[in-house]
């Protein structure tokens, strides 16, 4: 499933950037590399000779992703409502 998910999520993340798309792509790649290194370091620090550290890090990443998604949607809704209000004012 990663072959389908990763390219599509990257395309969706870069969709708002009409200018400087290369810079946005480089930033996305840098953030992905940094988050992978951070997750790996945390798993290494929590070394417990079991799968528990990996599970904790994976669940933490899922929760963090959900928080970012929810906050991003709220921000998008506010911007959408502002754009609708501006259109109504023009009419």
* pTM to 2 decimal places: 0.66
Mean pLDDT for the chain overall? 84
* Residue partners of 46: CB distance under 8 A and separation at least 6: 52, 53, 56, 57
* Residue partners of 42: CB distance under 8 A and separation at least 6: 53, 57
Tens digits of residue pLDDT in 35-82: 999 999 999 998 888 899 999 999 999 999 899 889 988 776 665 555
pLDDT > 60? residue 7: yes
Q: Return the structure tokens found at 40.
A: 């790996």
Rounded distance between C-alpha atoms, residue 55 and residue 33, angstroms: 20
Q: Which residue has the tokens 């599970």?
A: 55
């Amino acid at each position: 499933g990663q072959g389908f998910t990763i390219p599509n999520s990257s395309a969706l993340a870069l969709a708002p950037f009409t200018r400087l798309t290369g810079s946005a792509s480089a930033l996305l790649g840098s953030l992905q590399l940094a988050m992978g290194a951070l997750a790996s370091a945390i798993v290494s620090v929590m070394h417990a000779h079991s799968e528990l550290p990996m599970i904790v890090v994976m669940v933490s990443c899922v929760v963090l992703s959900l928080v970012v998604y929810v906050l991003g949607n709220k921000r998008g809704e506010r911007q959408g409502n502002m754009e609708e209000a501006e259109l109504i004012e023009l009419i």
